[in-house]
Amino acid sequence: MTLSAGNKLLSALFIAGSALAFVPAAHAAAPAGAPLVTGLPDFTDLIDKVGPAVVNIRTTEKLKQGQGSPSEEEMQEFLRRFFGGAVPRGQDPRGRRSPQQPQEEEVQRGVGSGFLISADGFVLTNAHVVDGADEVLVTLTDRREFKAKVLGTDKRSDVAVLKLEAQKLPSLTIGDSGKIRVGEWVIAIGSPFNLDNTVTAGIISAKSRDTGEYLPLIQSDVAVNPGNSGGPLINMRGEVIGINSQIATLSGGYNGISFAVPIDEAMRVADQLKKTGRVTRGRLGVEIGEVSKEVAESLGLGKARGVEVARVEAGGPADKGGIKVGDIILKFNGQDIERTADLPRLVGSTAVGSKAVVTVWRQGQQKEIAVNIVALDDDKAARKPAVKKPAPEQVANAVGLHVSDLSEVQRKELDLSGGVLVDASEGAAARAGLRPGDLILQLNNVEVKDARQFNAMVAKLDPKKSAAVLVRRDETTQYVVIRPRQ
């Protein structure tokens, strides 16, 4: 085949491909060995439908004479969140302060995007787009401009709700971000670099990407740049499934990875912001850690699942309900906890004042505990334990630990009924990371009462199996796996 003939064939393939519809495999049976994807999507009708509901957002602020330039922290936030560029504050292009600067000057602060979710003027965007703005201006695709009222912002989820005084406006259909699939086509519409109504396309790269305590973000490869913040991520049915919020970048520009707030989470936040202007989240009062495969096997859990309770806030909901340090939380209100990020999100979305059922794994048995959820704003720091080191035992046990009993005063101060103090660590214990000053509370699901009982249990360990000890160090408690012999 000649080069010319090859080019003609390639052109024909592209022309033919552009006319083909994207057909999911579930809807069309393919012969054995045939490709599951037979064409590329055509976005034109989709964009005609959803485009008018996407808006451009400009913010301004009033600067007073002598107000300085943004801090390094603010610039880092700019690179991370990528809303539009700020203007120099009180300086001319050569870096000198303008002698004629007025007492107060209104300047453009940034540019972002948003979208209408109702015909009566409710707009969703990112909290960082409007944070600190004195005035928010919203422009529609038909060039109508409105001064928007900020009903509320939530920094934890990076969601804000605006209100326009207008009726019969175009709006987007809210989708179900819980049903998205990795690999499905999506589009983003926004105002990158103030180029309003810019459309980019790509696929969902991952679901529930953990980049924040309350944000299981949607990852995509849709091109997102400064000014896209707050714009919608839309599926092929024309439904908004996320709010474009962040990018992963070293330069501040698009590098192929962008993140969106799932619309399910955004709408839960928006409902509260519309009603009260703020978001109230539930709190359990525990500090948690990851459960490793080795810890799970040592505790009889089988596979690694749930989260380990490292601290329990004194007087908090978990403490009052009976949750203890060392418990493995497996479920919250019947929903499985697979990763550490799952529990804070489930608790946070639970109504304050409601009762929840927490399923824990304790000493080889599953137990259900009822707790009353309180508001996150009432969070209190747990007190720091103080340990005074008594005289050490002279002989190390089979795993290389020198341990001693706690005095009654220490147990009372630490709120413990048992446990032993590590005075020295060597051999297998040292390799596992145990060190002097650690408190050992459990060994293989059995509570440690004193040094004599602990050393007796260690002597009976199977040298071919790992052992899990529950260790308290300062304010944190976690399971540590040690092997008696290696």
Residues contributing to the annotated binding site for substrate: 128, 158, 227-229
List 158, 196, 327, 405, catalytic entry:
158
Q: Measured between alpha carbons, how far is residue 273 from residues 183, 232, 351 in Å? A: 32, 19, 15
Cβ(35)–Cβ(28) below 8 Å: no
Give the pair of three-digit tokens for residue 54.
């996407």
Whether 423 is catalytic: no
List 113, 128, 208, 438, catalytic entry:
128
Whether 128 is catalytic: yes
Cβ(139)–Cβ(262) below 8 Å: no
Whether 158 is catalytic: yes
Cβ(127)–Cβ(158) below 8 Å: yes
Binding residues: 128, 158, 227-229
List 229, 245, 258, 298, catalytic entry:
229
Active-site amino acid positions: 128, 158, 229
